[in-house]
Amino acid sequence: MTVRDIVSIATAIGRDRTLRRQTMFFGVLFALAQVFLGATWLEATLGANRLLFVLYWFGCLWVTLTVALIAIFDLLIGFRESRRGRRK
């Protein structure tokens, strides 16, 4: 996957409301699954290796922050569209 592909995907997510909200939904589901697995089935494995523990939970944090930023972006787009609608 090249940088051009990543930029194209990010642009598509940024422009399409449905795709943006689906991305948020599946991102939250993925983060919840990560938290569940890390706290239950993977607890012994993650507890035995500190580097793996840090990398795993950093990945969970990364997904969560990405979803939060997409949500903030979606909120700002909604405010902008609302403002444009009131002006018309």
**For the chain, what are the domain ranges?**
3-87
Q: What is the pLDDT of residues 18-77, one digit of tens each?
A: 999 999 999 999 999 999 999 999 999 999 999 999 999 999 999 999 999 999 999 999
Predicted structure pTM score: 0.84
pLDDT(88) > 80: no
- Sign of the dihedral defined by the CA atoms of residues 42, 43, 49, 52, in that order: positive
**How wide is the angle at C-alpha 9 spanned by C-alphas 4 and 17, nearest 5°?**
150
